[in-house]
Amino acid sequence: MHQPTQSAKSWTLDNVPYGDVDPSMVRDQEHLFYLVTAASFIEIAADLYTDNLIQYFDGDQEVVDWLENKWKPEEVRHGYVLRDYVAHVWPGFDWQAAYDGFFQEYSRMCTVDEFEPSRCLEMVARCVVETGTSTFYQAMSQLTEEPVLAGIVARIRADEVGHYKYFYRFFRQYSATEPPGRIKILAALKRRMIEARNDDAECALRHAYAIRCRQGDPGFSSFKELMSTLGAQVKRHYPVDMAAKMLIKPLDLPRALARLLQGPVATATKKIML
Ligand SMILES: [Fe+2]
Ligand SMILES: [Fe+2]
């Protein structure tokens, strides 16, 4: 019987026990292949927009230091860990070719112009992004029984929640000196959520699918079928309440009102984000 080399709790994202993975538990789960691959692309490409973001916050040393020394390395590490998992379980897949195609298209989409009009509101937008990643990895942790992948996504999820907390803290700092008001915060939330819908994920999946087709084994008869299967899988496990709670937090609503709004916001979140 296969014996794990380390106890399940002892490893970190710096020393993932890939040798403990039983590929037969996941190899045939095409939806997992696509989710892990697409996530690896987007996480590694964080490298690109982090530089834009750092430029945007130029002069605010605390934010810049954190983005450079903590946030960026963690996001990129997520990407490399997921990439290595793909290489371990699906070694025939030409990850680099798919990533190169993705990067070429994605790098044209990331420009400074897409940032919010103020630093405070950009922090709100960052909270939306981290809500998206935290809840995505939460859903993914429900999608696999393979212990190493489950451990990876649980650890990444914890990092993403940590990122949310930092961005939220920076948002509070900015709003203490120049409060933007709830209307503008709500508009920033909405803008970013709508943007999240026609997501980077589609771009990443399209490039992964193209290479799988070229290699003769896409696993799905069409890209449309792939998208609807993934949508259904993620939707089934998507933590809407967690998303709603994180999204309305920057509005700093009175507790009773926040509680009242959570249900409708959860419903709206499901419609917009999924
Ligand atoms: Fe990440
Ligand atoms: Fe993050």
Query: Residue 178 gets which letter from DSSP?
Result: S
Phi first, then psi, for residue 136 (nearest 5°) are -65, -50
66 or 259, greater pLDDT: 66
Name the CATH superfamily housing domain 26-239: Ribonucleotide Reductase, subunit A (1.10.620.20)
User: Residues within 5 Å of ion ligand 2 by Cβ?
Assistant: 133, 160, 163
Instruction: Tell me which residue of 154, 180, 165 sits closest to 81, measured CA to CA.
Output: 154
Q: Give per-residue pLDDT as tens, 153-173.
A: 999 999 999 999 999 999 999
Instruction: Tell me which residue of 70, 80, 76, 74 sits closest to 47, measured CA to CA.
Output: 76
Q: Give per-residue pLDDT as tens, 66-95.
A: 999 999 999 999 999 999 999 999 999 999
Distance, CA of 255 to CA of 4 (rounded, Å): 46
Length of the chain: 274
Question: How far does the centroid of ligand 2 lie from the alpha carbon of residue 99, in Å?
Answer: 20
User: If pLDDT is split at 50, 70 and 90, which confidence band does 1 have?
Assistant: very low
- pLDDT value of position 274: 56
Question: How far does the centroid of ligand 1 lie from the alpha carbon of residue 156, in Å?
Answer: 6
Distance, CA of 130 to CA of 237 (rounded, Å): 18
> What's the predicted TM-score (pTM) here?
0.91
17 or 3, greater pLDDT: 17
**Residue 148 token pair:** 């190493």
Closest ligand (CA of 152): 1
For residue 180, what are the CA distances in angstroms to 167, 175, 184, 194, 257? 16, 7, 6, 20, 20
Question: How far does the centroid of ligand 2 lie from the alpha carbon of residue 132, in Å?
Answer: 9
Instruction: Tell me which residue of 165, 97, 108 sits closest to 131, measured CA to CA.
Output: 165
Question: How far does the centroid of ligand 2 lie from the alpha carbon of residue 133, in Å?
Answer: 6
User: If pLDDT is split at 50, 70 and 90, which confidence band does 110 have?
Assistant: low
Q: What average pLDDT is seen over the chain?
A: 89
- pLDDT value of position 10: 85
